[in-house]
Amino acid sequence: MAITRVWLDESEDECISCGLCSEVAPEVFEVPDKMIVIEGVDFSQYEEEIKEAVESCPTSVIKFETD
């Protein structure tokens, strides 16, 4: 069950640019304005950090998919 995709989903709520995700997982997330997922990241190397960021996000807009 490796993480294969991570994305910003604002269909129900919005990223408020708090920066928490990039503090928890700076290898995966950047918040220049709204959050972006850094291109080319091997998500399987940062599974714990990604899950922690998902749980920490105050507006629950970080989504991920596993294989």
40: left (phi over 0), alpha (psi -120 to 50) or beta: left
26 lies in the site for ligand SF4, by CB under 6 A = no
Q: CA-CA distance, 45 to 15, in Å (whole number)?
A: 24
**How far apart are CB 39 and ligand SF4 at their closest, in Å?**
17
For 8, the enclosing helix (H) or strand (E) is strand 3-8
In the complex, the smallest distance separating the C-beta of residue 2 from ligand SF4, rounded to whole angstroms, is: 21
Q: Which is nearer to ligand SF4, 44 or 63 (CB)?
A: 63
Interface positions with ligand SF4 (CB under 6 A): 15-21, 31, 35, 57-59, 61-62
